[in-house]
Structures are given as structure tokens and as C-alpha cells.
Structure 1
């Protein structure tokens, strides 16, 4: 005859929780038990009792068995068995904390314990993160809490403290603004917060995939920042352009269209970009260049189109400005100029021969004349002028004190004129040249 003893009803088997300070809680629940109910807790085949590291609770009226392990370690690895008896009713429930299950639990408990200790002092509630502003700046932000007046906040880049970061003690927010992202800005950023209660840090690695994500976002916002297309007459032709707050050829693509047909750079069509501009240059514009122009900017998955109509008054105004600037450029290129050669001051001892040479330019070849103290120089006796191509030389033989003064070479053609000037000072035998030079400069009126 088999005797069947009643079993204590199991409501919930062993559960494993990690508490706020990193303690590990093992618990199970059975039906309500009488005050006479007994618990024997077996760990690795040996009965254990409450200790400073393992607290055992047995709440009979709730049917609760609980083990709280303060600091989980390798010593706690194994099987836990709760042997329950209430009168003749019995039950036995086992949980095994071994192998990978134990290792994962240990890591989580240690992490929770570290996190609790961290939060006892100043700590970060928002880790370092990046965002791109509307002005295409890269802003790094983080936020600390549980701070006080004595709390110290620091920014680091590549393990060196940097003064570029900011910190607002009222809000706990730290910010670091990168105006224009470059290769020099790539690296590891770190923010720390500390006081007598402890310290915490947060790290952001601004390289690799993170940098790619930032540059992609910069491209997207840069495309959105593009201004409406403008038309401008230039010396070479007509320019159509859009201003942008940011441009990166690796992360942004541009395509120009004329009357819905894609344009390619050629002899008369040039397209290009700078950090803040996207442009199309039409050289030597013709009537066939009239019509609708469209700029397409692609950044990642986003595409933006801008259009303008180069026809009617817009074309006429741009063409007129082109012709005006082209004429001015021709004048500037061909007008008479003194290119180089004359010093500001020339000093020489009396009775010597002075030679001054300068280089001129202009088309047609300029007329040349020399002035002394604003009066024409007569080339007789001791004064001589020689022109060899673009070089003009004035020679004064046996100079004397009367030759001191302000001289100018005046060149002129149909496109304009220019004067190159030099101050000549003649000093006597035995007289210091520098002393006399100062005297002559004081006597000669300034050039207006």
C-alpha cells in the first residue's frame, strides 16, 4: 500500500531579481502556510542560514521564501533548494545558478552596484551626444545631476583638457560647439563631473561611423540651407549661384539642368562649389543660353531642387552687367601703369651718376614723361632718358644738391594714366647720407 502525502501548493517557482543597489534577490511563492511551517534552505547540498551576505526571509502567512545576496560572487554559484514542510504537507523547489546564467547574473549585478554607487555623487543622466544645428555647427551635449556648488566639470579631447567646452551649473548641461567640422576635430571627447562624493564621466568617439553619420546630417541640413538661385553678370559671362551654410563634396552631389536637360561642364559651361556656395558659370553668353535653370542637390536620401528663369529682363540685365565688367577689365588690363622698379627714396653722393629704372605696361604703348617737384623734366645736358621695351631709365650725371627732390614718371595711353614716384636726396662729400635723407624728406612736400 502506497501512502500519498499532501504537497504544499507552488504558486511561483524560483525568481531572480537584481535590486537597486546590485543585490540579488531569489524568491518563490507557495500557498499560505501555518505558523508551524518549516524551511530548510540547501546550497550545494549543505544547509545554509542567514548571514551578513545572505539574508534569508521566510514569511509563512504569505507563503514567501526569499534569499537576498548582498554582493554576488563566485562563492554564490551553485544550486539552491527550498525544502518546505507544513504538518504532513511537503514540497521541494530547486534553482541552479551556474554556467552562463550565473556569469550573466554576476555581470548585471556588478553593473547595477556600480551604477548605484555612481549615482550617490554627481553623475550624468544624459550621456555625450551630438546634433547638427541649423547653422551647420556640430554641438556636443551632455547633462549631469546631483551636483552642488563645489562640483567640478571638465571637457577633454584626445585625453587633453580643452577650454572650448561650456557648463551651466544651474541646469547641469555641458556643451561643446564645433563651428566647422574638420579632420582635426575627429577623435575621442570626454566630459567628467566630480566632487568629494565621487566622479562620473561620459565618452563620445567622433570617428568612423559616428563621423559618417554627422557628415551625412551636415549634408542634409546644408542642402536645406541653400538660398534661392541668383543671377549675376561677371567679367567672363553670367553666373547662377546659391549660397549654402555647408558643402561637402563627399556627402553632397549637385547636378545642373537647362530646360530639363542635364548640363555637363565644357568650353562655355563651368560648374563648381566652395564651402558656402554652389555655382554655374556661363562664359560668353548667347541667346541659346536663355531659359530655365535647375540646381539639384542630393544629400543622403534627400534631394532638393532650386530653379530660376534666365530670360527676358533677367537675361538682359545680366548680359549688360557682363558687358560693362568686361569693358572695365579691358581698360584695367590695357591702361598705362608703372609696374615696378622705383624705390621710395634714393640717396647718392654729389658728383656721382644716378640711374633709375622702372618697368611700365599698357596697350597701346604709353607716352612717357618725367616730373621733378610736379614740373616737367627737360632732358638736356646731364639728364638723359632711355626706353627699352617696357623698361624706362632716367640717368642724371654729376648730381648735385639742386637735383634733390621728388621725381615722378608719368605714363599715359587712351585707357588711363599712372605716376610712379621716388624721392632723390644728394649728400655732399663727408656728409652722412641718412642725416641728409631725413632733411630732404622734411623739405619735400608729401604726395597727395
Structure 2
């Protein structure tokens, strides 16, 4: 029984099954498409133990150079199966055309496949803040029929392009930027989707908008408490992806010497934007008080940002409260003493009039006595 050829993922893996007897070849109508520079991978299977021969354009392919041929023979379901894989490394337009494989013992029973190598001319650009740039990736070897069936679009880091400063020009395969910002740097992709019979072939060509690192500045300083966890994030824009080095008082931090310290990559929407972009210090100590620097580097330049981290005693926040309590206690004591003194003076003033009245009566009695003497 004949089994039809199967086109695998991305259209670059061809599986060919040749049954015993006299097969009728019915090749898949879809070509195998490969983006240069890449690799052509074709797999041919024969349901018996045999050697498999590969041809390109009717010429036998031999091992060596850009061609790599492997053969595997194994027992499957009580019978033997031979599998041969052809790999063509860094193919060019010369490697396009018809490829065939066949059982060396039955050269008349061939399976064929058309391979097309897409060559794309790309133009990268460098980012200047506030400036403009144009990225381009133009296919070089498509015929009019293929162009009419081609769906083309730009993406950014594999995601749909949603940038108000970028304009797609699909008619000439360009992406134009205006009023550039640091966050516009990165890898963009040209997506070529070819409409095939009952399926699509998707090829992706990266194009780069390069830029030196731009580090988002830290706040001037940060107050921490002993025992707290310090976490600093260095947000960097640039391409190629900047690598971050953390320094403490201008000395590079040795992450391995202190188990309290760790670094990890900084991600945004599942995409790494700076390598080693997060510094974490657990159980802060007084000696961790320092000026911390995030220094980012790539092939186009360097940038940095610093922050002063202060570490206070665990009880530091309690001292102001205790001071207030002490002030209130002293004030209450002063008020108490004052009120007590004032109360005593009031009692003394109340006793004074009674004494004066008694003295007056005594003097009056003495005067009366004096007047009665003859």
C-alpha cells in the first residue's frame, strides 16, 4: 500500500515512504522552502533494508562539503526500515530545484521534492534618540506568482508591531521610524507567509535596530532597615541586549562570595531586556550601606546609574516614638509639680484672712480695756 509524502513543520523536513513492489509516486504539491542562510533537511524512508541514493537535478549527491548524508536501518513491526537524511548547509539559489531519493536496488522507484531557497537582502539601522531610521528586508528570488501569494508583515520580538513611531511599507518591505526613543531598539522580524496547497509556509528573517545601552535612572537614595531585603532593578534599553554588571562603591560585586546576594535577568512581557538586570540582597546589614551602580554594556557603548542605599538600625524607627513619649512624660511631670505648687499657694491665701480677722479682734479688745482706766 502506498503512503503519501508528508511535509513536516516549517516545510523543511520531507518524509518519503516507498513501499515494496511497484509503487505509484504521488509527490506533495507543496515545495520545501528554506530561508538562506539556513539548512535544507530532507528525510527519505524505505520499507526494507537497503541503501538510499540522493539526487539533485538528476545528479547524484555524495557526502562532503555542504552535503551531509546519514543512514539508519532498524527493525520496525517485524520488518526492516531504512531511513536516510540529507542536510544541505548554507544553501544558495544554486541549491534550489528538484531533489530525489530512491532505493539503490530499485532506481526506477523515485520520490521527488521541489526545494526553494529564499534569499533576503536586509538593512539594519542604528538608533539616534529623536532621529529616524529605516529597516529593510527585500526578497531577491521570488517570481510574480509567488509574490502574489505572499503575505508579509513586521513583528517585534515575535509580537505584533504596536509602535506609534513605526510605519510599515509593505510594498517595498521596509519599516520606517520617526522620533526614535531608546525603547525602540531591538530585533524586528520580517515574516514571509507563503500560501500553499491546504497550508502556509512561514519564514522569518531578523533585522536589527541597534543602539548603545540607555539605563533608566534610579532615585537618588533609598532608606532601608537592617534585616530588610533590597531589590534593585536596572531597566536598560539597547541592542544587542546589554549585559549588566553591578558595583558597590565602584567595586564589582562578587555574587559567589556572599550567599545573601543574587542576580537574575530582567524580563518584560516574557522577554529578557537586560541580562543580570536584578540585584537582590537578603538580610541587609550595616556594612551594606553603599553607593550601588548598575553598569550596562554592549558592542555599541555603555551607560550606568547609581543609587545611595542607607541601612538603619531595626530600632531606628522606635527612637522618635520613645523621644515623644519622654517629652510627654517630662511635660506631665512639670504640669504636676506646677499644679501642686499652685494648690499649696492657694491654701496659704485662704488661711491668711482668718488670721487677720483674729488679730483685729484681739486689738479691739485691748483698746476697750485701755479706755476703761480712770
TM-score (norm: length of structure 2):
0.30
TM-score (norm: length of structure 1):
0.26
**Relative contact order: is structure 1 or structure 2 higher (C-alpha 8 Å, sep ≥ 6)?**
2
